[in-house]
Structure 1
């Protein structure tokens, strides 16, 4: 391609994100042409249905319901995929690459489930596959991991990567609301879907954690490798207990290099956790996202901003599109998948962290000593313990030192079998501080 040749773009999807991508392509056409080195031309938009109102004014002749025909056109240089889901997105992306187009995608679910297939297809075709918009909306986090920190050793990535759950937990913390009440408010304000399962059960965050871990540690990590827990079981009492400790509850995506049984390994998990209010992530409010990165040379870095929405996500898509378009004009290919380390993924049972455990017990002499002995038998060291009496029963609140998930689970199972223990009412991990 020469400097006067336009870069021809096909868009898959014209919903919340796709319509904003199309809008920005039109409104910023001159600036994009200057940045790319040639005009960027939208030549087709694949949609499910024709003739319905959309949030962008485009000529009708651009719309088609035949996505396969659009991505296989020889004159298409870049395919932008924002339809989401596994199929038909996977088939369409593979077809686009096979027919010579580079791809920009925002599809976290597909990349987390079958990214390896897509990367191999891009490598075979000699084309780009960029996907900054797949994690944390407008926040530039994937490019820094892939490029800016390429000469460093990332050791940990800790992130709030789902705006819906952050809004819910923030409301529970600031107003004392319960989970259901906070969820209803999130739905009324448009932060949560009518069916919020993907968000509140952690599926969305787990897909993003898989992508982050893959990039940070040069290892293929899929969503199935990520331990996942949602926030539906987080109670107002949990949030209040966190506040008493000077902490706040957040749904965290945590990816880290660990010491495995045979050498370095990767851990990837998503679950609610208490973090100190002094930690930078504790100040992330409402539906915002933030990713905290720790590396050997650069130290601690935090990336913060809106993690979802049409315009923020479209901003990330356009950033990738500029890079991919430049590469097409110059006849080069950007960085592909880096999975050379090929580290094992550590089972959750071997992952170590601290724990906050609430235990309802009979208010009798010797119960505390019995509970402490159970912790000791399973190699879970107690950091602090607090007892509150309530007539015939009492509540013990135990905060442990670092222990493995398997040892903590064995401790809880043992406690539940004790005659004087009525219930282990809450178990929550504690992250983000040093012992």
Structure 2
């Protein structure tokens, strides 16, 4: 006898519409893989009068989320935002219904509470689609590497900013021009701040840290910088040094705790992440025994993200049939989130300085006084007795590097620091 599991879909936007299509078009294949007939029982939307396309039967469209949740075995939440999504997910989990979501903002703020609620009620909360679109990264961190010790996760997790920076690198265009193009192509929202200010990547960094290190972390613990200060001159200088600029999410563990940061980063063109172009995402994982791993693929879009949703849904259905939900497990003792000042990193600086004898020596002395070693220094001449100086440091704590930058900025031979950027890799 075929067992039927009812699926409530909350949200029918770009991703939700693709989920509905897969549920209806690939029903036989999904049944063979999950062991149950996955029946779309309700589609909850704000505007019930809008045409939802051929894959969403009009009779299933509703604005009554509570009734849809109460009649479902599995719930897919694709509405986004904190509310009413949080209320709906809590209602479903409290009933014992497993939930699949792509809501990174909610999970980055309330994740540990929701994981605990799921475990308390024998349900699952799955969220592969919340971090890197179609790329399977959360399940490998939680399951495939469960017997290893992950030490660092570093990745490009926002396709919009990668498109912008990649375009600047390839064409030498300035930020505003490429942002306008990205908006026209639909890569940026009307308000692009979540992408270009790094908030979207920061939410994903918190989730990566939670899964990689088994402790609950929130977005407010992630040091966050966006790409709005990156200039065409920065991109050109990176190219001259055989480097490229990427907005990276970096989470790493030490004996003292976990550091989480998002910021524009210089990496060598030989690094695997440097080859990630356009709106694609990639996540680079370092583990004690497995070594270095990279996961690469489309980071956004209806069909790719729906693929991740459906993977979670099939697994949730299997576990429900087996009566063995697999809740997200966090360590009994929380791991400390460290301040970004403790990060060990390298800096690349661009300074406008007086083009006069002794300037380089005075600047180098300030670095030495703060215990920061200079790896490379290059001076480019300007007009009117001014010069641009570009410096790359050896690794040091961000605390020491920040103090060095502040001291250098006070020198009378320095007219301005035009760029400060971190460097990762060799």
Bin for the TM-score computed over the shorter chain:
over 0.9
1:332 to 312, 324, 334: 324
Distance 1:56 1:279 in 2: 44
Once the two structures are superposed, residues 368-412 of structure 1 have per-residue CA deviations (whole angstroms, 9 ceiling, x without a partner) of: 111011111112111111112224011111110001112111111
**Quick check: 1:126 aligned with 2:122?**
yes
Q: Equivalences for 1:367-406 in 2 at 5 Å? A: 367-391=359-383, 392-406=385-399
**Quick check: 1:414 aligned with 2:407?**
yes
Contact 2:23 2:38 in 1 (8 A): yes
Structure 1 runs (4+) deviating above 3 angstroms are none
2:23 to 25, 43, 55: 25
Root-mean-square deviation (Å): 1.1
**Quick check: 1:88 aligned with 2:84?**
yes
1:66 shift after superposition: 1.2
Paired residues in the alignment total: 425
Distance 1:335 1:13 in 2: 24
Once the two structures are superposed, residues 55-91 of structure 1 have per-residue CA deviations (whole angstroms, 9 ceiling, x without a partner) of: 4432222111011222123xx1100101111111011
Distance 2:215 2:8 in 1: 31
Distance 2:160 2:264 in 1: 13
Once the two structures are superposed, residues 298-325 of structure 1 have per-residue CA deviations (whole angstroms, 9 ceiling, x without a partner) of: 1111000000011111000000000000
Distance 1:285 1:170 in 2: 6
1:4 shift after superposition: 2.3
Larger deviation, residues 132-141 vs 48-57: 48-57
Unaligned segments of structure 1, at least 5 residues: none
Q: Which residue of 2 aligns with 1:192?
A: 188
Once the two structures are superposed, residues 284-303 of structure 1 have per-residue CA deviations (whole angstroms, 9 ceiling, x without a partner) of: 00000000101011111100
Q: Which residue of 1 aligns with 2:313?
A: 321
Distance 2:102 2:373 in 1: 44
Contact 2:345 2:397 in 1 (8 A): yes
Match of 1:251, SS state, is strand
Q: Equivalences for 1:16-55 in 2 at 5 Å? A: 16-55=14-53
Match of 2:216, SS state, is coil
Unaligned segments of structure 2, at least 5 residues: none
TM-score, normalised relative to structure 1:
0.96
**Quick check: 1:346 aligned with 2:338?**
yes
Distance 2:301 2:228 in 1: 23
TM-score, normalised relative to structure 2:
0.98
Contact 1:218 1:340 in 2 (8 A): no
Q: Equivalences for 1:184-223 in 2 at 5 Å? A: 184-223=180-219
Distance 1:235 1:205 in 2: 20
Q: Which residue of 1 aligns with 2:347?
A: 355
Contact 2:134 2:297 in 1 (8 A): yes
1:341 shift after superposition: 5.6
2:424 to 408, 413, 431: 431
Contact 2:115 2:327 in 1 (8 A): no
Once the two structures are superposed, residues 84-137 of structure 1 have per-residue CA deviations (whole angstroms, 9 ceiling, x without a partner) of: 111110110000111221111111100111101101110111111111111100
Contact 2:41 2:68 in 1 (8 A): no
**Quick check: 1:302 aligned with 2:298?**
no
Contact 2:118 2:327 in 1 (8 A): no
Using a 3 Å threshold, how does the CA distance of structure 1 residues 232 and 55 change in structure 2: closer, same or farther?
Answer: farther
**Quick check: 1:272 aligned with 2:270?**
no
Match of 1:135, SS state, is helix
Distance 1:224 1:55 in 2: 39
**Quick check: 1:102 aligned with 2:94?**
no
Distance 2:231 2:52 in 1: 40
Match of 2:257, SS state, is strand
**Quick check: 1:282 aligned with 2:282?**
no
Match of 1:407, SS state, is helix
1:329 shift after superposition: 1.1
Contact 1:382 1:401 in 2 (8 A): yes
Contact 1:19 1:56 in 2 (8 A): no
1:53 shift after superposition: 1.8
Q: Which residue of 2 aligns with 1:234?
A: 230
Match of 2:123, SS state, is coil
Contact 1:275 1:432 in 2 (8 A): yes
1:231 shift after superposition: 0.2
